[in-house]
């Protein structure tokens, strides 16, 4: 029996947070408390380039055992960013604790155009789907809210496994969850995390949305993926 699986990255590939990600969430929290603030995204963003688990994917974070702990460990990152743009220290602590609720608000998340029809088409061609993502602990809830639950058989989330792509164990866990398989292909928008990470695990990959000179298989959007699978000899 042919058992074909597509491993999908989530953020930037299937879906996105409308209005922006962590920088936008932090700014939204700040504006709720200070509508007149002159702080803009460009001031916050430089202070969020380190401190997240995926910034050091070579280091597993198996010590994080719950969603609450995951977010608690990020609060110092948010606090320091707030302080860097002029928020007083005591207030920065309080604002940092509120970023989680704003970031995971279901209504803020969207699917890219054409995602569901593409998944339907691929399912009709015999492919099964799994999300393999570096994300927050609430990813499974976001996936269900967006209506992906009926299309996706499993979600392998770094916040729960402790391994960030391109770490080899992130892909090993996906293959372990699949069990016996005939074909497996990774699809994502990060050349380093999705394409190179998958290749190191012996999994072919298609880069989507973002170009890279070394990407052998690339699609500008997901609608082109079914044909790329066929043309690339992966179907």
Domain boundary at 79, 107, 135, which?
Answer: 107
Q: Are residues 8 and 79 in the same domain?
A: no
Closest CA to 64 of 163, 141, 175, 140: 163
How far lies 183's CA from each of 19, 180, 198, 226, 229, in Å? Answer: 36, 10, 13, 14, 11
Q: Are residues 123 and 226 in the same domain?
A: yes
Angle at 187 between CA 161 and CA 220, to 5 degrees: 140
Q: Are residues 103 and 115 in the same domain?
A: no
Q: Are residues 11 and 24 in the same domain?
A: no
pLDDT at 235: 66
Domain boundary at 107, 134, 160, which?
Answer: 107
Q: Are residues 113 and 9 in the same domain?
A: yes
Q: Are residues 83 and 131 in the same domain?
A: no
pLDDT tens, position by position, 166-224: 999 999 999 999 988 889 999 999 999 999 999 999 999 999 999 999 999 999 999 99
Q: Are residues 30 and 67 in the same domain?
A: yes
Domain boundary at 107, 138, 157, which?
Answer: 107
Q: Cα dihedral angle (195, 201, 204, 205), rounded to 10 degrees?
A: -20
The range of the structural domain enclosing residue 173 comes to 4-16+109-231
Total of domains in the chain: 2
User: pTM for this structure?
Assistant: 0.94
CA atoms of 22 and 217, how far apart (whole Å): 30
Give the CATH number, domain containing residue 210: 3.40.50.1000
Mean pLDDT, 10 residues at a time, over the chain (235 residues)? Answer: 89 96 97 96 96 96 96 98 97 98 96 96 95 98 95 96 97 94 94 97 96 94 93 75
Q: Are residues 102 and 132 in the same domain?
A: no
């Amino acid at each position: 029996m042919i058992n074909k699986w597509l491993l999908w990255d989530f953020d930037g590939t299937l879906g996105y947070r409308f209005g922006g990600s962590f920088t936008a969430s932090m700014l939204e929290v700040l504006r709720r408390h200070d509508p007149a603030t002159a702080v803009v995204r460009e001031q916050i963003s430089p202070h969020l380039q380190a401190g997240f688990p995926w910034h050091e994917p070579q280091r597993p974070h198996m010590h994080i055992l719950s969603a609450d702990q995951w977010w608690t460990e990020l609060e110092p990152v948010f606090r320091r960013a707030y302080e860097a743009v002029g928020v007083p220290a005591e207030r920065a602590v309080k604002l940092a604790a509120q970023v989680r609720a704003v970031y995971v608000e279901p209504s803020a998340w969207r699917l890219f155009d054409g995602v569901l029809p593409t998944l339907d088409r691929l399912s009709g061609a015999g492919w099964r789907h799994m999300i393999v993502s570096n994300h927050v602990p609430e990813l499974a809830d976001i996936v269900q809210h967006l209506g992906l639950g009926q299309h996706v058989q499993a979600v392998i989330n770094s916040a729960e496994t402790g391994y960030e792509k391109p770490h080899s164990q992130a892909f090993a866990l996906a293959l372990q969850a699949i069990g016996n398989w005939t074909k497996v292909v990774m699809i994502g928008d990060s050349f380093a995390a999705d394409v190179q990470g998958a290749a190191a695990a012996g999994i072919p990959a298609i880069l989507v949305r973002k170009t890279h000179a070394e990407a052998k298989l690339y699609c500008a959007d997901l609608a082109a993926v079914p044909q790329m699978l066929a043309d690339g000899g992966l179907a």
